[in-house]
Amino acid sequence: MQLFDASPTGAGPSLALHGGAGGRIEELSAEGRAPYEQGLTAAYQAGWKVLAAGGDALDAVCASVEVLEDDPLFNAGRGAALTATGRAELDASVMTGAGRAGAVATSTYARNPVWLARAVMERTDHVLIVNPDLSFVERFGLDVAEPGWFVTEPRQQQLARVLDGRAAAARHGTVGAVAHDASGRVAAATSTGGMTGQADGRVGDSPIVGAGVYARDEVVAVSSTGDGEAFIRGVVAYDIAARIRYAGAGLAEAVRATFDAELTQRGSTGGVVAVGGDGRVVVAHNSPMMFSARGPGPEPVITT
């Protein structure tokens, strides 16, 4: 297991984000590391700009995830992994440290599912909406796109390789961010296209509160990526929070213990970014690699 633990710097803000655990796919790897690093840096800087101006943790994580959704290198928004029938079905969630949450699953019209998830949280009485139609997205004045806009040629090539047995289905492509703002609030957001070749209608952990996302002020905010079914069964994001809140574990200790009990011992892999109530940042994964950017500070530490 790889774990990076960054101590907080006073009471200031901190931010961490991930672009998926696992590895690069063949069709998206021709240019090497640089485009991934550029995408991660742009996403981090979008979130950090919010925090540096005294903004809210929720605004910061949404800003970071929006950038990653718009970057076709990452498995969210445009360029997301495709289902077995070639569709892009997008899942996303947001959660604040005050306990508010919103999520969407199998979204096909919202250009940025993270903003639709936020709209569900802030402008409806619901937490999770499945298969939101065009009129639902337009109701909130969000940017829309036709379903085909999300489909890219590299992802079609990846799907073809999976369906004819030349590649295994990638289970780890998800993006997400966590933040701790200057007022001490935390928030988390997660967004994904799921796994390549999945059945139409399959929903992983990303829009599930407690599995792919969780936040509680003065405790932790977590965003997950990995074997979605394992993260759901182990309620991984919440398990980390519970170890801190009820057992008094430190952030790094809680992450290690949860990974060991709910993932590693069960033969599953993935990663998380987490920020504690004191601003401490932990980035961890038991997969071969994970794309991530972490602070605190205006210039992120990038891992690809």
User: Any idea which residues carry the catalytic annotation?
Assistant: 174
Pairing relation of β-strands 128-130 and 101-107?
Answer: parallel
Give, as one character, the DSSP assignment of residue 255.
Answer: H
Largest Cα–Cα distance of the chain, in whole Å? 53
* Other CB atoms within 10 Å distance of the CB of residue 134: 13
User: How much helix, strand and coil, in percent to the nearest 5, is found in the chain?
Assistant: 35, 25, 40
Closest to 144 measured CA to CA, from 186, 173, 115, 187: 115
Radius of gyration of the chain (CA): 17
The full DSSP string for 221-236 is EEEEEE-HHHHHHTTH
**Helix/strand/coil for 191:** strand
Could you give the CA distance from residue 189 to residue 169 in angstroms, rounded to a whole number? 24
State residue 292 phi and psi, 5-degree precision.
-155, 160
**Helix/strand/coil for 122:** helix
Could you give the CA distance from residue 219 to residue 289 in angstroms, rounded to a whole number? 27
Pairing relation of β-strands 301-303 and 90-96?
Answer: unpaired
The full DSSP string for 22-75 is S---GGG-TT-SHHHHHHHHHHHHHHHHHHHTT--HHHHHHHHHHHHHH-TTSS
